[in-house]
Amino acid sequence: MAAGTLLVALWPLLVGNAGPVGDARLFHLPYQMLVGDFARAGELLLWNPWTNGGSPDGVEPQIGAFSPLAVGSGLLAGGSSWSFVLFWLGTWCLSALGMVRLVRHLGAPAWAQYGIALAWCANGAFVGHAGHTCFVHAFAFLPWSVWCLDRALSSASVAARLRLAASAGAWWGLSALAGYPGLVVVCALVLVGWALVRMLPAALGEEPRASLRAVALALGVWLVTGLVVLAPSYVGFFAEGSGFSGRTDTLTREIATGWGAEDPAEANPLEPLALFTLANSVIAPAAARVPETDPFPVTDATSVGVNAGLAAWVLTFIALFGAARSRRNTALFALGLLSLGLALGHTLPLRAWAYDLLPPLRYFRHSAFFRVGLLFVVAVLAARGASRVDARGAARAALAVGLVAGLATATALAVLPQLTSRTPLALFAVPPVAILALAYSARLGERAMRRTLAVVTAGGAVFALLVGRPLMMEDTARRDRLDERRHAELDDNAGFERVPFAFTIPEARTDQLLAGETEALAPYFDKPVRTLFDSANLPEKSNVLAGYTALNSARHHQFAAFPVLMDQALGRERVFFAAEALHLPDDDATFATFAESTAAGTVPLVVHTADEPWTEVGDDATARIAAARLERVPFDLVRFEPTSLELELARPAPQDGWILVTERWARGWSATVRTPGGVDQPTPVERAGFLWRAVRVPEGATSVRFRYAPFGWPWLLIVSWGTLLALLVGSLRAKRGSRTAHV
């Protein structure tokens, strides 16, 4: 029922009257269309040859190329925008179902299960990050994981305990296969915190206290299973991303936490003024409507919302201070407050301390992510409060929450008057007035209180979804244009022709541009334009040098400033020969020297491999550079597919040397060279020219064939999906056995 109401509230997306916003439109939608194209072709996306010179996008978790849910949606709907809508809203609805299961397990009565689940799916994280599909996917399955983990800690059977703990890990690992890694880590911390809270003494009506041994066993099984499930993306990410993208490196303390940074906004913390959104679901969407004045300049508009629904706060108040209070409730709320403190980033030292103590927290910024912990805790405590709610307690709690929310809303409007410039003032009054109405109805009796509480809980969630529409959806113009694009075959050789960008939009906003690149690439356009980076080239399989992809590289951006290097990377004639190579490290000093040598039009072959001693370029620098000069080689394109590239040289190699192709390098690439005797000889693929692939060729070589397979392919995927399938079958059998036992 909660999932059905959610779909009704998001009906414009289902009927095609609206499309996604932000990164969901620019990045996730076209990528899911690409995943759908691959699925319909009976393949998985391993390498994307059409963006930024090529990218190992199969191992980028945010794309979901190894997620059975993303691939399944692509298989059902193909390379269309409906594949994305199915995956996007399906994730949302699964989260609602998971929260229903969890709150029912925690003892919430039937009248409260629906409203709490709906309130969870309408909180500030879901609404705010609707445009970040990978963010939502990362925390959407948290209720399922906690439900399984808590049952594991409560089970008397060792076999059931192991199966349930493994199921908790499977849900967490599944969320990671298409989720933002930072939020995956945040959810892992919430799960660990939940298990530790279960070690506290139990109050009346709570599950028995879990022993240290039981907690250690459950967390161990959860972690191992989760790591096995997420391995195809994350092991491949570090293996293939190393040397390809800077995203595999840790961030500095200033960038990750904002602590001591000149511009804390880079860490995207939750600034203190954003705490006003705790009191009202209208404030965050209202702020998003006035980007020119930006009421919360340190926090991105998508990360501002901390609203969990005032009715959920009423029930939380009852759980903490009413008859349902317990040490566990207090500890859970403390866990939520800790999450909120971490979300505040540079305002408090907590995020900086966490950076020092927990290495996984050094790989991502966006401190505001941590607010998900508080939002989840509020939903859980609401379920516990609903199990012990009474009319008198509800009246007191609703009166307190309504008055505080009303006062906070009035203060927010006084401090931030721009919030009302495009949002009617009356909308801000709806949430606190509804809660005060609840306080009044509670005085009319137990039945009236429960009915009103159920209506206000669900109604508040629907209201949050409706007022949050600007953060979730927009008109379908862009989505329609993507659907109309030509869907080229995956082995379309015409795609080898490379252009600078997918397309241009003259009125694109400056803050949506990639700094510095537009000016540098202006000579490649007929007239000055602003260029909006997105992945719109993917549905038609057009090959662009500068597109929107998560696995970016600073070196790739630097190439834009040098016309000679750009000429090598664009067009179709992108195969070169050099008799020698300069073996140099990939560092800023080397790149500066390399870039200077291109001013005269001479581009030497530079190879970056530790297997060879670094070239000492001294007094004979001019001669060494001349000997390593790259010359274009005429060729016939035999095959250009996502995981293979075959080139037939128009003339055999004149001498022993190197062939360079301006296609991006990654560790998973291998190659064979056909020798004069017609033998295909394996040869290593070296990273050359800072970005590209190069192979040694003997004199008389006639062809080069490249093949790509990420690290561990396909065994990591087989083990991951096999684990998910085994646990699904085991859960179904256990459920069937349980039903049989009760007959």
pLDDT tens figures, 330-389: 999 999 999 999 999 999 999 999 999 999 999 998 999 999 999 999 999 999 999 888
| Inter-residue contact 31 to 23 (CB < 8 Å) | no
Burial class (CB in 10 A: 0-12, 13-18, 19+), 146: buried
**What are the residue ranges of helices labelled H in 416-445?**
425-442
pLDDT at 395 over 60: yes
Count Cα neighbours of 196 within 13 Å in the Cβ-side half-sphere.
11
Distance between CA atoms of residues 233 and 178, nearest Å? 9
Residue with tokens 């969870």: 120
Distance between CA atoms of residues 143 and 187, nearest Å? 10
| 436 CB-near residues (< 8 Å, 6+ apart) | 398, 399, 402, 403, 406
User: Once rounded to an integer, what is the mean pLDDT over residues 1-5?
Assistant: 72
pLDDT number for residue 516: 38
pLDDT number for residue 388: 85
3-state secondary structure (DSSP) of residue 657: strand
pLDDT at 478 over 90: no
Name the residue type at position 228: V
Q: Taking the CB of residue 433, how many other CB atoms lie within 10 A of it?
A: 14
User: Once rounded to an integer, what is the mean pLDDT over residues 311-340?
Assistant: 92
* pLDDT band, very low/low/confident/very high, at 102 (cuts 50, 70, 90): very high
Name the residue type at position 704: V
pLDDT number for residue 502: 57
| Inter-residue contact 251 to 362 (CB < 8 Å) | yes
pLDDT number for residue 519: 47
pLDDT number for residue 380: 96
pLDDT at 476 over 60: yes
User: Once rounded to an integer, what is the mean pLDDT over residues 462-479?
Assistant: 83
pLDDT tens for each residue of 8-52: 778 888 877 888 888 888 899 999 999 999 999 999 999 999 998
pLDDT number for residue 667: 94
pLDDT at 532 over 60: no
pLDDT at 534 over 80: no
Give pTM, 2 decimals: 0.92
User: Once rounded to an integer, what is the mean pLDDT over residues 320-337?
Assistant: 90
Distance between CA atoms of residues 89 and 100, nearest Å? 17
User: Once rounded to an integer, what is the mean pLDDT over residues 699-713?
Assistant: 94
pLDDT tens for each residue of 600-652: 777 889 998 866 666 666 556 667 777 788 999 999 999 999 999 999 999 99
User: Once rounded to an integer, what is the mean pLDDT over residues 538-561?
Assistant: 82
Beta bridge partners of 548: none
Work out the angle between the directed axes of helices 68-77 and 81-105 (0-180°, nearest 10): 130
User: Once rounded to an integer, what is the mean pLDDT over residues 247-267?
Assistant: 86
Distance between CA atoms of residues 520 and 418, nearest Å? 37
User: Once rounded to an integer, what is the mean pLDDT over residues 514-518?
Assistant: 40
pLDDT number for residue 742: 47
Q: Quick check: bond before 634 cis, omega within 30?
A: no
Provide DSSP, 70-110. Answer: HHHHHHHH-SSHHHHHHHHHHHHHHHHHHHHHHHHHTT--H
pLDDT number for residue 586: 86
Beta bridge partners of 664: 692
pLDDT number for residue 389: 85
Beta bridge partners of 20: 473
Distance between CA atoms of residues 659 and 574, nearest Å? 10
User: Once rounded to an integer, what is the mean pLDDT over residues 164-182?
Assistant: 96
Burial class (CB in 10 A: 0-12, 13-18, 19+), 366: buried
| 181 CB-near residues (< 8 Å, 6+ apart) | 61, 138, 234, 363, 364
pLDDT at 668 over 90: yes
pLDDT number for residue 262: 81
pLDDT tens for each residue of 404-415: 999 999 999 999
Torsion of CA 456, 457, 463, 464, to 10 degrees: 150
Provide DSSP, 219-258. Answer: HHHHHHHHHHHHHHHHHHHHHHHTTT-GGGSPPPHHHHH-
* pLDDT band, very low/low/confident/very high, at 514 (cuts 50, 70, 90): very low
pLDDT at 323 over 90: no
519 or 117: whose pLDDT is higher?
117
| Inter-residue contact 16 to 24 (CB < 8 Å) | no
pLDDT number for residue 537: 84
The terminus-to-terminus CA distance of the chain in angstroms comes to 27
| DSSP conformation class of 629 | B
pLDDT averaged over the chain? 87
User: Once rounded to an integer, what is the mean pLDDT over residues 527-537?
Assistant: 55
pLDDT at 449 over 90: no
pLDDT tens for each residue of 415-442: 999 999 889 999 999 999 999 888 888 7
pLDDT number for residue 466: 92
Report the length, in residues, of the chain.
743
Secondary element (H or E) of residue 314: helix 310-321
* pLDDT band, very low/low/confident/very high, at 740 (cuts 50, 70, 90): low
